[in-house]
Structure 1
Amino acid sequence: MAIPRNYQGWTILANGFRPFFLLGAIQAALSILIWLPAFYGELKLSSGFAPRDWHVHEMLYGYLPAIVTGFLFTAIPNWTGRLPIRGLPLLTLVIVWLAGRLAVTSSALYPWWAALLIDASFLLLVVLAAAREIAAGRNWRNLPVVAIVGLLCAGNIAFHVEAHLHGSADYAIRIGVSVIVLLLALIGGRITPSFTRNWLVKHNPGRLPAPFGRFDMVVVLVSALSLIGWIVLPDSAITGAGLFVAGVMHAVRLARWAGDRTLRERLLVILHVGYAFVPLGFLINAAASFGWVLPSAGLHAWMAGAAAIMTLAVMTRATLGHTGQALTASVATQAIYLAIIVAAVTRVCAVLAPAHAGALLHVAAFAWILAFSGYALAFGPLLLGLRLRALAVRATTQPVL
């Protein structure tokens, strides 16, 4: 999606992915840069949340909603045929998102409900805007995606309320994580085999990914049921069994997508690697339900692994495709992928190997900051349009979103 010809405003506000991908990456890097000294007690935050809850909130209800919004507002015009949300309406959403980050980080300075109203208004506006566009375009088949984002909004509200009433937000954390996992299962479960099929047909004919079908719908349904159990009774043996079944089904699903045949194209390989953390998260959380490992290992497999890797995969691909670049991974892009994989693996291992937790946490934090700051530096000029006008837009046969 190049800049519309009749658009005369700032390039950064021409498409939804531009401000939200850039600001989301910067916020993800800065949040971890702040979090590590806060974790060790070397920095005192002004947030009304406990330090752990601030960290989780800013990843789960800060970074991820920005990337989801960038994805939605870029994909919806393709779904509906309508013009993208841009200019002043997009700037308004960006300001509201930034206000939410400031409100949460400084929420100890004023009433808790004020931070809730400021922070929760962003996702509420996103849901209303996305639903309006889909309804106007009569694209009802994608309305469930907006409904799931609405659940994320509800989870954010619950986070503020639960943290205020109980001092921590354990249930709301599990709600938000579950919503993100379902989004990955739905969206990642469609784009990964679709992009893989398109590339294989052109570059490596032979075995192709299984298309989205009944098996995939059953996997999503089983996942939803097991996640509901995880939200309500995370330590139950029944929950553990459900999570285990869902994990095995996701592993089978991933194996059906012919990811082993895409090794020549890193833009595709990274999608398969990121999705591999979805079944891994289910299986580790199943083990945690039986008391075999600490619960945070599975949570980080989903968040630092699946969510972070797949969002960076989509961000890099969409930025290249929608700014007229060739859909292939440069050295810088591959370095970003390597860094986020290292961050995910070491963060999970920090829980599973507590004797080495200190060193692993520092490696994970450094790799995470490198990945997201690397994206901002490498792709920021394209998002800002600084190099766009000097380049001819190159057509591609591969879909972007």
Structure 2
Amino acid sequence: MLMNIQNTAKRPTSPHPILNLGFRVFFVGSAVFAIVSMVLWLAILQGFAPFKGAVSPYYWHGHEMIFGYALAVIAGFLLTAVKTWTGQSMPYGWRLLAIFVPWALARIVWLGLHATPSTAMLVAALVLDLLFWGLTSYAVVRAVWLARQKRQIGIVAKLVLLFLAQAAFFMGVFTQSLPLQQGALYFALLLVIGVVFTIGRRVLPFFITKGVSVDNTGKPNGITLEQKNSDILDRASLIGLAGLLVFDVFVRLPMVAAVFALICALANVLRLKNWYHAGIWQKPLLWSLYLGFVGMVASLILLAVYPFVDSALNLHSLALHGLALFGIGLMTVAMMARVSLGHTGRNIHQPPKTVSAIFLLMIGAGLVRVLLPMFGGEYLTWILVSQVLWIVSFALFCVSYVGILSKPRTDGLFG
């Protein structure tokens, strides 16, 4: 007699679907925070909310965009993707909530610091931020260690360096060292861009290969291609970014930093050439990521030329904001838009109709913030327009995706 053999392994459970995997709660949290923090930054710059914080308002903004928003998206991605990369279980349910809560509480404390600064609040922010990133890093490192995946050492190293950058920023705050605060923020920004390059290098060729070979229903359309990476370009990109980091942050040799910025830019231009296929323009979830890379490359080129142009253009600051808006803003919202569909069992070839608007608004925010100030005009006006575009972009993302991220998978699986 045939017997039914059933899997007796206990099915994972969580208090709510939003805690099933890291991408859910962190993508929602980061998107909402992107709106709230930018609204407050807009109000501060326009004089509606006088800044009384213990740090410079510009460094407060930089800290929250990098250590608040960007690290939340990275945490959500890694706490999801590492499960696929290593085959190891990642935190879910209450364990995931224990990682998210310190991040959320730290954001509340930092939002309050702009109006009611105190040493106690700074200490609380320090403890909560380091706890959040420490728990995130532990979960990733543990999975990599158990799987014995040496190829993930680059990601692990960047997580550790981001922890040290966070600690260095707080040291700068407590010692009232503006150079240390600035250096920690620049260091962290370039580290985040390094993470984006690493993740983008892994997923974009795969996404393009899979995306252009099927129609919007997911059926093969007869297009066959195989996107590959180049070890030489990978090393050149890494060396270029590492050299830029050293000579733009620590040693401060602009001419040398410019050479490394150009090396990194050229390596990624060639990457983009290798990955290109005309079919990407039919898929918003592909062209958004591709243009995010283009924006990062353009920003690196600005860093390569800034030592040779009039300092009045403030090209260095514009280039850093270009890296932030394209490498963090556009790349992360595009990645969140795709991952949120794929990991909830939905058709990635039929995203919400709002996605093109979400991406175009973010592209507009980057272009207005970086390009228009070069041609004159009221600088604060361009910043204001860019801020509004950023806010509307994330508002559309929340309208389109919070429901998806807070509901169970469509196929009934856990995740």
Same fold (TM over 0.5): yes
Match of 1:289 in 2: 307
Of 36, 41, 60 in structure 2, the residue corresponding to residue 35 of structure 1 is 41
Which shows bigger deviation, 298-307 or 42-51?
42-51
Aligned residue pairs, count: 389
Instruction: Say yes or no: does 1:317 pair with 2:338.
Output: yes
The 8 Å contact of residues 48 and 104 in structure 1, kept in 2 or not, is answered as no
* Structure 2 contact 14–94 (Cα < 8 Å) conserved: no
Query: Deviations for 1:254-281, whole angstroms, at most 9, x for unmatched residues?
Result: 1221143311111111110001112111
When residues 393 and 314 of structure 1 are mapped into structure 2, their CA distance, relative to the original with a 3 A threshold, is farther
Aligned residue number for residue 290 of structure 2: 272
Offset at 1:248?
2.2
Q: Is the 8 A contact 2:106 2:124 kept in 1?
A: no
- Picking from 125, 145, 148, the partner of 2:155 is 145
Question: Residues 45 and 105 of structure 1 are in contact (CA less than 8 Å); yes or no, is this contact kept in structure 2?
Answer: no
Whether 1:91 aligns to 2:97 is yes
Whole-Å separation in 2 of the counterparts to 1:141 and 1:245: 23
Q: How does 1:185-334 map to 2 (within 5 A)?
A: 185-201=197-213, 202-203=220-221, 205=223, 208-234=226-252, 236-292=254-310, 293-294=313-314, 295-328=316-349, 329-334=351-356
Distance 1:304 1:270 in 2: 13
1:180 is aligned to 192
Indicate yes or no: 2:390 matched with 1:379.
no
Letter of the aligned partner of 1:223 in structure 2?
L
C-alpha separation in 1, matches of 2:88 and 2:225: 36
**Per-residue deviation, residues 284-309 of structure 1 (Å, max 9, x unmatched):** 11222335441211011100112111
For residues 140 and 33 of structure 1, the distance between their equivalents in structure 2, rounded to whole angstroms, comes to 42
Alpha carbons 1:325, 1:393 under 8 Å: kept: no
Residue type of the partner of 2:335? Answer: V
Does structure 1 retain, via aligned residues, the 8 Å contact 2:44–2:50?
A: yes
Change (3 A) 1:266 1:351: same
The root-mean-square deviation of aligned C-alpha atoms, in Å, is 2.2
- Equivalent position amino acid for 1:273 in 2: L
Offset of residue 373 of structure 1:
1.6
- The question of whether the paired residues in 2 share the 8 Å contact of 1:266 and 1:334 is answered with yes
Code of the aligned partner of 1:331: K
1:399 aligned partner: none
Which secondary structure does the structure 2 equivalent of 1:106 belong to? helix
The residue type paired with residue 115 of structure 1 is A
Change (3 A) 1:365 1:204: farther
- CA change 1:8–1:252 in 2 (3 A) is closer
Q: Distance in 1 between matches of 2:263 and 2:146?
A: 39
Q: How far off is 1:381 after superposition?
A: 0.7
Contact 1:194 1:211 in 2 (8 A): no
Q: Distance in 1 between the 2:123 and 2:412 partners?
A: 47
Q: Which residue of 2 aligns with 1:124?
A: 134
Is 2:57 aligned against 1:51? Answer: yes
What are the superposed Cα offsets for residues 143-200 of structure 1, whole Å, 9 maximum, x if unpaired?
3212212211111111122233224621111101110111122111121112112234
Q: Distance in 1 between matches of 2:172 and 2:75?
A: 25
Distance (Å, rounded) in 2 between the aligned partners of 1:118 and 1:40: 30
> 1:317, CA displacement in angstroms?
0.4
Alignment match of 1:344 (pick from 366, 390, 399)? 366
Distance 1:351 1:299 in 2: 14
Q: Given residue 39 of structure 1, which amino acid in structure 2 is its aligned partner?
A: L
**CA distance in structure 2 between the aligned counterparts of 1:352 and 1:333, rounded to whole angstroms:** 29
Q: Tell me how far 1:233 sits from its aligned partner.
A: 4.0
Q: Is the 8 A contact 1:100 1:120 kept in 2?
A: no
d(CA) in 1 for partners of 2:42, 2:232? 44
Alpha-carbon distance between aligned partners in 2 of 1:369 and 1:382, rounded to the nearest angstrom: 20
Query: Matched residue of 1:256: which SS?
Result: helix
Output the CA distance in 2 between the equivalents of 1:392 and 1:121.
34
Which residue, 91, 109, 115 being the options, matches 2:118? 109
Mark the CA change 1:77 to 1:279 in structure 2 (over 3 Å): closer, same or farther. Answer: same
The more displaced of 154-163 and 22-31 is 154-163
TM-score, with structure 2 as normaliser = 0.87
Whether contact under 8 Å (1:20, 1:94) holds in the other structure is: yes
Residues 274 and 306 of structure 1 are in contact (CA less than 8 Å); yes or no, is this contact kept in structure 2?
yes
CA distance in structure 2 between the aligned counterparts of 1:271 and 1:118, rounded to whole angstroms: 32
Which residue of 174, 177, 189 maps to 1:166? 177
Structure 1 residues 290 and 123: CA distance shift in structure 2, 3 A? farther
CA 1:8–1:246 in 2, change beyond 3 Å: closer, same or farther?
Answer: closer
Q: Distance in 2 between matches of 1:234 and 1:358?
A: 28
- Structure 1 residue 222: deviation in Å? 2.2
Counterparts of 1:312 and 1:139, CA distance in 2 = 28
Q: What is the alpha-carbon distance in structure 1 between the residues aligned to residue 147 and residue 66 of structure 2?
A: 30
Residue 343 of structure 1: how far off its partner (Å) = 0.9
